[in-house]
Structure 1
Amino acid sequence: MLTNVIPKLPMRNITATKEFYINKLGFSEISDYGDYLLIGKDNIELHFFTFKELDPKANYGQVYIRTSDIDTLYETLLFNKVSIHPNGQLAIKPWGQKEFSLLDPDSNLVTFGQEW
């Protein structure tokens, strides 16, 4: 019955969000409604809603994205000078996933993982 899940994350500034996800992470814009942004890459889609009063230090927005080639993705992001979270370096986790994490401009935690 269920077919897909699309995370909705807060953003303070649509231009900064686009810059990060499109220019640094390689997503494409699907739609821009001014205060609501839809982006996608491969088979996933993320939505962002404007929350101008968001305090990034108090933001607990998170998304976990599975990938089929985590090593190449990690190397590509490093090459593109994307900052990896200091506590989220590429590593094999006890739960059987190889993962790394980063923070977007609004401190949404984006974790990429692959079954190991």
Structure 2
Amino acid sequence: MPDRITANLPAINFDATEAFYAPLGFTASWKDSGWMILRRGSLELEFFPFPDLDPFQSSFSACIRVDDLDALYADFSRAGVTNDRCAIPRLTPPLTEPFGLRLFALIDLNGSLLRCIDNKATERLTQRT
């Protein structure tokens, strides 16, 4: 197995979190009362219980870096997550930052921010430095 790092995010309720991520293409590869791991191909999210978390006060986040940002956004869009910028959960459309980084964001039902970042745009930025 190659070296890797995985996000560790809070879940108010494991069953509700698993149900939220299922339409996004994630399936549980491990789940007990103290830990849950969801996978979507090579993408992996790990969750710990945090039943008292207020999603509107959460400051948890992770970056998901992918080679095909548009395909991931299309897949996530089919899940029917709203793009209402005040809602939790929500999905924002892709955008390109003024400095060239291309990304979109998913805020899950626990209030965790997942920045989905285009690897190709990141590579172009690092080649400039």
Range class of TM-score, shorter chain: 0.7 to 0.9
Task: Say which SS state the counterpart of residue 67 (structure 2) adopts.
Answer: coil
What is the RMSD of the two structures over their aligned residues, measured on CA atoms?
2.0
| Unaligned 5+ runs, structure 2 | 87-91, 122-129
Provide the aligned length of Structure 1 versus Structure 2.
Answer: 114
| Unaligned 5+ runs, structure 1 | none
Give the one of 96, 110, 113 matched to 2:117: 113
Structure 1 residues 41 and 85: alpha-carbon distance in aligned structure 2, compared to 1, 3 A threshold: farther
Could you tell me whether the CA contact under 8 Å between 1:36 and 1:49 is conserved in 2?
Answer: yes
In the TM superposition, residue 85 of structure 1 has moved relative to its aligned partner by 6.4
Calculate the TM-score normalised by the size of structure 1. Answer: 0.86
2:15 is the counterpart of 1:15: yes
Cα distance in 2, alignment partners of residues 15 and 98 from structure 1 = 32
Query: Whose helix proportion is higher, 1 or 2?
Result: 2
Cα distance in 2, alignment partners of residues 94 and 3 from structure 1 = 32
Cα distance in 1, alignment partners of residues 69 and 96 from structure 2 = 11
Summarize deviations over 1:77-105 as a string: whole Å, max 9, x none: 22221234639421112343211002111
Calculate the TM-score normalised by the size of structure 2. Answer: 0.78
Which residue does 1:76 correspond to in 2? Answer: 75
